[in-house]
Amino acid sequence: MYRIDFNDFFTSAFSVDCILFGYSEGEIKALLIKRAMQPFENLWAIPGDLIYPDEDLEQAAERVLFELTGLNNIAMHQSQTFGKPNRHPQGRVITISYFALLRIEDFEVKASSWAGDVQWVSLKNMPDLAFDHNHILSSTYEMLKLKLQNEPICFDLLPERFTLNEFQQLYEFAFEQAFDKANFRKKIKYIPLIAHDEKQQNVKHRPAKLFSFDKSSFEEETKQNRYTFKM
Amino acid sequence: MYRIDFNDFFTSAFSVDCILFGYSEGEIKALLIKRAMQPFENLWAIPGDLIYPDEDLEQAAERVLFELTGLNNIAMHQSQTFGKPNRHPQGRVITISYFALLRIEDFEVKASSWAGDVQWVSLKNMPDLAFDHNHILSSTYEMLKLKLQNEPICFDLLPERFTLNEFQQLYEFAFEQAFDKANFRKKIKYIPLIAHDEKQQNVKHRPAKLFSFDKSSFEEETKQNRYTFKM
DNA sequence: TTAATTATTGTAATTTGGACAATAATTTAA
DNA sequence: TTAAATTATTGTCCAAATTACAATAATTAA
């Protein structure tokens, strides 16, 4: 059988795309940059760029995110790889998407390098993005929703201290569905939460108690087994 | 900021690795080939090869699998991408892994191209594989186990007609755990099965009834919601 | 002080889950 | 022909989880 020379294959490039999810004002948002460079100049896009030929994938994701948005040292997890031959107008570029969750209010973002702007954009209100980024984003969001049902990652999105209602509203946003308050509280009984004396401020009604996630106790007792959040 | 010329990046290759899972004799197995070519000549490996520069990823996976094992038209799903800079001794090769489940007895495999041999190998008894293939395989197996809990994919592994015990044993193998027979049968009550008149043959005891999965009814009634298999 | 508003807890009926027992259908050996 | 052996299948009981509501508590605003 005829075989092409090995080196003929080394004509493609790889990129990473970094999907950052955050939560504020009752909505899950993604961090986007405005491209100040061709192709797709002036369109919003997921922060991403080419990987150096000798660079590890995860390292590349961290570096690229930092260069474009100023977010430093954000550990991301791989989601999926997108490789339609014509997805990049300038050549064959296969992109590996990474994602992370963070508390919007804990970080400051600042456009740099070829990013003209950076913004948190609600998933309810997503514009047309560069490349196949709408597809990448929605497919990663689906994965996020799956993970929300099986791992206690919602606490990476919520503020350190939150009310049980805020907790519930995050799930209601993600699953586009309302839950009964009393039953929601029963469902989370195996998630170790610390109840604080502190209460919600500046509300026009009875203030709710603030809670925080007890991560160490969760890990110790391997209650992972009991953590399910099928809605 | 200094930017390298775009073309400097086009020095990497990408490959697909095709992980085929099957089930026979009470064990989950993976299809492996024996490499008849450098590097790692004579070692067992996941069937995989380089992707043509203008080829779609999924197509490449199907083509490569066919060329090496004779398995034709197998639809695979993407699992993960592996890209440590030194994972391939001959250059930067990032590999995208795909996987599929099939009934071993329904297909015939035959080594061809640079594959010297093809074998179904039990996951209980895995030798040292070429490249980082042990890592790729075990990480894909973990993903399979997750999926087994949330989607009715076990029926892609079982024969078309199976006993409830065979069904149970597949889960017992995957989760390395024994289940109570009576309770197992209660747990699957939302999975639509067709009970046939036919019975198990050639057993030395009361033969069990044969069942098959009622796929169309499963899809119609969107009982997906109720399908959970937390063990 | 009271109405309005939301937080929090409770109740009762139903469904599910887990441990284990009982019964049924076959084969094999006596 | 029959009884023992073996595995399939179904049933029971009790504890735990789920669901739909109802009741009570703590604030603010008028």
Residues of chain B with pLDDT under 70: 1-11, 221-226, 231
Which of A150, A174, A201 corresponds to the end of one domain?
A: A150
Together in a domain, A11 and A58: yes
Determine the average pLDDT of the residues in A5-34: 86
CATH at residue B164: 1.10.10.10
B177 inside 8 A of chain A by CB: no
**Structure-model confidence comparison of residues B203 and A118, the more confident one:** A118
Confidence of residue A3 (pLDDT cuts 50, 70, 90): very low
Together in a domain, B205 and B175: yes
Together in a domain, A159 and A80: no
Per-residue pLDDT tens digits for B32-72:
999 999 999 999 999 999 999 899 999 999 999 999 999 99
Q: Which of B1, B4, B12 sits opposite A14 (nearest CB)?
A: B12
> Can you tell me whether residue B172 is helix, strand or coil?
helix
Of all residues in chain A, the percent with pLDDT exceeding 90 is 82
CB contact under 8 A, B94 and A8: no
β-strand pairing of B13-24 with B93-101 = parallel
The CA distance from B137 to B129, in Å, is: 10
The boundaries of the domain holding residue B119 are 6-150
Strand-pair partners of B165: none
pLDDT at A2 over 50: no
pLDDT of residue B28: 98
pLDDT of residue B168: 97
Together in a domain, A158 and A91: no
Together in a domain, A32 and A136: yes
Residue B160 has phi, psi (to 5 degrees) of -55, -45
For residue B52, list chain A residues with Cβ-Cβ distance below 8 A: 4, 9
Together in a domain, B129 and B67: yes
pLDDT of residue B19: 98
Which of B121, B150, B179 corresponds to the end of one domain?
A: B150
The CA distance from B97 to B122, in Å, is: 19
Number of domains forming the structure of chain B: 2
Whether residue A15 contacts residue A96, with contact meaning beta carbons closer than 8 Å, is answered with yes
CB contact set of A21 (below 8 Å; sequence gap of 6+): A28, A29, A30, A99, A100, A101, A102, A141, A144, A157
Distance from CA of A30 to the nearest CA of B (A): 23
pLDDT at A4 over 60: no
**Structure-model confidence comparison of residues A221 and A35, the more confident one:** A35
Together in a domain, B124 and B25: yes
pLDDT of residue B27: 95
Together in a domain, B222 and B198: yes
CA distances for A75 relative to A46, A99, A122, B47, angstroms:
16, 9, 22, 31
Together in a domain, A140 and A185: no
Per-residue pLDDT tens digits for A157-199:
999 999 999 999 999 999 999 999 999 999 999 899 999 999 9
Strand C neighbors by CB, 7 A: A 163-165, 181-183, 185, 204-209; B 180-183, 186-187, 199, 203-207
The CA distance from A7 to A14, in Å, is: 16
Which of A150, A172, A187 corresponds to the end of one domain?
A: A150
Global pTM reads: 0.92
Averaged pLDDT of chain A: 92
pLDDT of residue A5: 53
Within a domain: residue B231? no
Q: Following DSSP, what letter does each residue of A30-87 receive, concatenated?
A: EEEEEE-SSSSTT-EE-SEEEPPTT--HHHHHHHHHHHHH---S---EEEEEE--TTS
Ramachandran region of residue A155, left (φ > 0), alpha (ψ -120 to 50) or beta? alpha
CATH at residue B114: 3.90.79.10
